[in-house]
Amino acid sequence: MARLTNDRSSCPVSVLMNLLSGPWTMYIIWMLSTSGPTRFGALRRQVEGISTKMLTERLRMLEQEGIVYRHYEPTVPPQVTYSLTERAGELVTILDQLNGLAQRWYGDLPSCGSSQVQPEALEKATVLL
């Protein structure tokens, strides 16, 4: 649903990059990888400044791509918990390398996520599958 004037949309890397490129996307993934399964409200508070619209949009997209899992609990009030899927693990691993590179290039003081993927976070996520 963007510029399709060229064939970038048919290229795997571009597809993937377009996903990750979206605003807030990386941040959400980082938060989920460090915090583990998180409820919608909590996530919105963690990703400071994001609008509900964006958060929903991003989560839907990530869910559709099999990167995020959405667990709906029909209680009153309803509870929705988001977590990373197993698939996301592969991605986070690479993102982690990117993080390392970024730190070497730009200084390693203010990392916005642990440079080490928290194993527990992924385990918890996987359990929910």
94, interface contact from a copy of itself, DNA, none, CB < 5-8 Å by kind: a copy of itself
Output the DSSP codes for 38-85.
EEHHHHHHHSTT--HHHHHHHHHHHHHTTSEEEEEE--SS-EEEEEE-
If one asks whether residue 27 binds DNA (CB under 7 A), the answer comes out as no
User: Do 88 and 68 touch, CB atoms closer than 8 A?
Assistant: yes
- Interaction site with a copy of itself (CB under 8 A): 3, 5-8, 10-17, 20-21, 23, 26-27, 30, 47-49, 87, 90-91, 94-95, 97-99, 101-103, 105-108, 110-113
Neighbours of 89 (CB within 10 A): 18
> Between residues 60 and 79, which has the closer beta carbon with respect to a copy of itself?
60
Q: Give the interface segment with DNA, choosing from 35-43, 83-91, 103-111, 116-124 (CB under 7 A).
A: 35-43
- Tell me which residues in 74-93 interact with DNA (CB under 7 A): 77-81
Q: For 128, which DSSP code?
A: T
> Between residues 5 and 116, which has the closer beta carbon with respect to DNA?
5
Spell out the residues 6+ positions from residue 97 whose beta carbon is closer than 8 angstroms to its own. none
If one asks whether residue 40 binds DNA (CB under 7 A), the answer comes out as yes
112, interface contact from a copy of itself, DNA, none, CB < 5-8 Å by kind: a copy of itself
Element (H, E) at 91: helix 86-106
